[in-house]
């Protein structure tokens, strides 16, 4: 039979039976709970009912073998619980993969053996310093980690520990009050006009039709890697001249594409494309249809019409596009920018050309214009300067003889002033 006793002004100790040990001695489990509702403390009957209910729930946990004393719970065991009961149920697959990579390569090797309740702020400060040094990863990486990776490690640790607080396994996260790692803003890379021309020449003179149209689509539309991979032929509206974007394939899971909505979760995004591009896509589709006919019964799914596939209708994995871009860029001596920087190229080009911020925001799929201006501030400043220069047509030196900059002005007396 269980019991409870007061330990402090707001805390109570729950005690329940947990069977017998090998010597026939009764085992007991204890759990301390804290009352945060002041109204409960003022009403004896309500407080008794609450404590009785908590005692019954505690007894059920013990009887089911589900109770683990927080003071003895190892961090690695809690992470397993967090993955099973929270991450797998509530987080996206790619997010889980990012978190588990940071946990397995960095956090668990350092803290897995520790008791959850024993992790202190100083331990974490020392850890984040050590992990910033070369050779810190369990994977054997020799180079020092980048700022963004350290930031993501910090973020992962905070997410897990905050859940431990929510589940009342610890009173407060040891990371509370610690400053977040700083990430130095990197200078954005993109192709200037003459570099875009070089890029296009390489696409048409050196690259096969499939990858040519993939990279040109990425560069002109500004779509993200997984968004281009997810395109199917019904998304290409030839007569109206636009691409209808409604899905993305950010990664593969168990050999199958993980299809999800676009990053900003809009129903669909309409991306107008130039006429020459649509003509190129028509020619590509004719080639694509012939290839499908040759494949015949080996085509994987007759209902899917993925434009960019690896041979039998199955879409490319995102990493294949990145790897191919790297090979083409190096082989043909294109300026060293990432595949994602083709998207930056499109946005920067439009802003430099004076396109409205709203139109650029919608084409890029940014949820707000603030994201566009914050990310491309250097470009918008350049465009703003170009906008100001449009007023040069009204330069008074062109048609006013006594403008203030003509050098012909003189100081006027009071009688001369109008």
State the Cα–Cα distance between residues 367 and 264, nearest whole angstrom.
Answer: 6
Residues 214-241 pLDDT 10s: 999 999 999 999 999 999 999 999 999 9
pLDDT value, residue 32: 80
Residue 314 pLDDT greater than 50, yes or no: yes
- Region 162-185: mean pLDDT is 90
- Region 382-409: mean pLDDT is 59
Residue 179 pLDDT greater than 80, yes or no: yes
State the Cα–Cα distance between residues 206 and 202, nearest whole angstrom.
Answer: 5
pLDDT value, residue 393: 66
Domains and CATH numbers, the chain: 3-63 (no CATH), 75-166 (1.10.150), 193-385 (1.10.443.10)
- Region 71-78: mean pLDDT is 86
pLDDT value, residue 352: 79
Residue 409 pLDDT greater than 70, yes or no: no
pLDDT value, residue 234: 96
pLDDT value, residue 140: 66
- Region 78-99: mean pLDDT is 91
pLDDT value, residue 362: 83
Residue 174 pLDDT greater than 90, yes or no: yes
pLDDT value, residue 232: 96
* Confidence band of 153 (pLDDT split at 50, 70, 90): very high
Residue 302 pLDDT greater than 80, yes or no: no
Buried b (16+ CB within 10 A) or exposed e, 360-395: bbbbbbbeeeeebbebbeebbeebeeeeeeeeeeee
State the Cα–Cα distance between residues 260 and 309, nearest whole angstrom.
Answer: 18
pLDDT value, residue 416: 47
**Mean pLDDT in the chain?**
84
pLDDT value, residue 218: 95
* Confidence band of 391 (pLDDT split at 50, 70, 90): low
pLDDT value, residue 377: 61
Residues 22-61 pLDDT 10s: 777 777 878 788 888 888 888 888 999 999 998 888 888 7
Residue 133 pLDDT greater than 70, yes or no: yes
Q: What share of the chain is helix, strand, coil (3-state, %, to 5)?
A: 50, 10, 35
State the Cα–Cα distance between residues 273 and 84, nearest whole angstrom.
Answer: 45
* Confidence band of 417 (pLDDT split at 50, 70, 90): very low
Q: Tokens standing for 175?
A: 């990371």
- Region 234-251: mean pLDDT is 94
Question: Which residues have a Cβ under 8 Å from the Cβ of 191 and sit 6 or more positions away?
Answer: 199, 335, 337, 341, 342, 345
**What region, left, alpha or beta, does residue 254 occupy, with left being phi > 0 and alpha being psi -120 to 50 degrees?**
left
Share of the chain above pLDDT 90, in %: 46
Residue 117 pLDDT greater than 50, yes or no: yes
- Region 293-305: mean pLDDT is 84
Q: Tokens standing for 305?
A: 């019409």
Candidates 361, 368, 328; CA nearest to 222 is 361
Residue 146 pLDDT greater than 70, yes or no: yes
346 in Cβ contact with 330 (< 8 Å): no
pLDDT value, residue 243: 95
51 in Cβ contact with 18 (< 8 Å): no
């Amino acid at each position: 039979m269980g019991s409870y006793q007061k330990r402090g002004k707001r805390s109570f100790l729950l005690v329940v039976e947990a069977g017998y040990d090998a010597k026939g001695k009764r085992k007991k489990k204890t759990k301390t709970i804290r009352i945060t509702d002041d109204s409960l403390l003022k009403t004896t009957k309500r407080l008794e009912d609450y404590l009785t209910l908590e005692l019954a729930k505690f007894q059920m946990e013990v009887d089911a073998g589900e109770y683990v004393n927080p003071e003895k719970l190892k961090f690695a065991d809690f992470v397993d619980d967090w993955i099973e009961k929270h991450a797998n149920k509530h987080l996206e697959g790619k997010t889980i993969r990012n978190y588990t990579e940071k946990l397995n390569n960095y956090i668990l090797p350092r803290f897995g053996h520790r008791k959850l309740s024993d992790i202190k702020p100083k331990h974490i400060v020392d850890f984040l310093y050590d992990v910033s040094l070369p050779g810190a990863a369990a994977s054997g990486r020799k180079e020092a980690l980048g700022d963004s990776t350290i930031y993501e490690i910090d973020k992962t640790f905070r997410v897990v520990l905050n859940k431990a607080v929510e589940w009342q396994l610890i009173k407060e996260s040891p990371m509370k009050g610690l400053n977040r790692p700083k990430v130095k803003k990197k200078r954005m890379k993109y192709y200037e006009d003459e570099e875009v021309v070089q890029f296009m020449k390489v696409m048409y003179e050196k690259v096969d039709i499939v990858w040519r149209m993939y990279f040109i689509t990425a560069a002109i539309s500004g779509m993200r890697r997984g968004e281009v991979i997810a395109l199917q032929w019904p998304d290409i509206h030839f007569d109206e001249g636009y691409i209808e974007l409604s899905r993305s394939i950010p990664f593969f899971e168990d050999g199958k594409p993980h299809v999800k909505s676009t990053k900003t979760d809009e129903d669909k995004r309409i991306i107008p494309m130039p006429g020459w591009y649509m003509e190129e896509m028509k020619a590509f589709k004719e080639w694509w249809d012939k290839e499908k006919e040759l494949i015949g019964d080996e085509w994987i799914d007759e209902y899917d019409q993925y434009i960019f596939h690896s041979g039998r209708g199955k879409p490319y994995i995102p990493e294949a596009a990145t790897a191919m871009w790297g090979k083409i860029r190096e082989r043909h001596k294109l300026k060293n920018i990432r595949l994602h920087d083709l998207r930056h190229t499109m946005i920067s080009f439009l802003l430099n050309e004076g396109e409205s911020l709203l139109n650029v925001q919608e084409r890029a799929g940014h949820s707000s214009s603030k994201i566009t201006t914050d990310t491309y501030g250097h470009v918008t400043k350049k465009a703003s300067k170009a906008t100001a220069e449009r007023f040069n047509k009204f330069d008074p030196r062109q048609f006013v003889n006594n403008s203030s900059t003509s050098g012909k002005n003189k100081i006027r007396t009071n009688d001369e002033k109008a």
